[in-house]
Amino acid sequence: PVAATFRVIQGAMSEEHVRTTQGVFQFELSGEEGGTWYIDLKSQGGGAGFGKPPVTADVVMSMSSTDFVKMFT
């Protein structure tokens, strides 16, 4: 569910989101599909996925993978 959520986020990104947000969000998830994930709304084109963000995160959130999926659905 976490990887699928990030695929949806990546597909919904636009230059407009990047231009207006200018933030990088890092998620430290526990549980199934846990680990470090990110949403980059600062770099050109944006990005989202597994691992550390390409630039320093502005916000780091720690939560369970279940809570992450609930937050985005």
Count CB-CB contacts under 10 A for residue 66.
15
pLDDT at position 47 is 96
- Count structural domains, the chain: 1
Distance between first and last Cα of the chain: 10
* CATH number of domain containing 40: 3.30.1050.10
User: Would you state the pLDDT for residue 72?
Assistant: 92
Could you tell me the residue range of the domain that residue 20 belongs to? 1-71
> What is the per-residue pLDDT across 1-39, written as a single tens digit (0 to 9) for each?
999 999 999 999 999 999 999 999 999 999 999 999 999
Count Cβ atoms within 10 A of the Cβ of residue 46 and give its class: 0-12 exposed, 13-18 middle, 19 or more buried.
buried
Q: Where is pLDDT greater, at 73 or 35?
A: 35
